Amino acid sequence: MDRKKILICSKIENYIESKKVMLLLQEYGYDCNLPFFEEYNLLESSKSRYSDAKNTSLLKLRKDSFDIEYNFIQSSDSILILNYDWNNILGYIGYNMYMDIGFAYILGKKIFVLNDLSSNQQNIKRDFTRLGVIYLKGELERIRNYLF
């Protein structure tokens, strides 16, 4: 039987936690990808330039990262959004993760979100639920109930 493949999507700042989640999912018997994190140092060095929207090398880096992410989603069975708290927002989901959810939905992949969203994001949660997003309520092991 083929092992199910999960793409882990997270903010770059959560790299260490993402690696821990990847190792745990591998213990559960899943294959996992952390796209673009192999270039973590490159991203860290360019992060200070994110505010410069006219930086053409940064724009190319962003485009390349979306292409890579899309290809990973295509080859995965599902995506897992690691939405940790950020800037006093519970269960923060950034714009890159929104795109990941959209790509996964269009490609017919299962979509998991680790943590619940804050009370001021309930409209987003309702919309995501309509897309078939499965909330794990902070319990990673629940993914085994849906992906086997």
Measured distance CA(111)–CA(79) in Å, rounded: 5
- CA dist 28 and 105 (Å) reads 24
Q: What's the pLDDT score for residue 122?
A: 87
**What pLDDT score does 44 carry?**
55
Residue 41 pLDDT exceeds 70: no
Q: Any idea what the CATH number is for the domain that residue 112 is in?
A: 3.40.50
Domains identified in the chain, total number: 1
Residue 2 is predicted with a pLDDT of 85
- The pLDDT assigned to 110 comes to 98
Q: Is the pLDDT of residue 45 over 60?
A: no
pLDDT computed for residue 12 by the predictor: 81
Q: Note down the domain range covering 47.
A: 5-145
pLDDT in tens, 100-137: 999 999 999 999 999 999 888 888 999 999 999 999 99
When pLDDT is cut at 50, 70 and 90, the band that residue 38 belongs to is low
Report the sign of the C-alpha dihedral through residues 56, 8, 84, 43, in that order.
negative
The answer, as to whether pTM is greater than 0.95, is no
Alpha-carbon distance 109 to 133, whole Å?
Answer: 10
Per-residue confidence (pLDDT) for residue 62, from 0 to 100? 72
> Once rounded to an integer, what is the mean pLDDT over residues 46-67?
65
Which pLDDT belongs to residue 66? 80
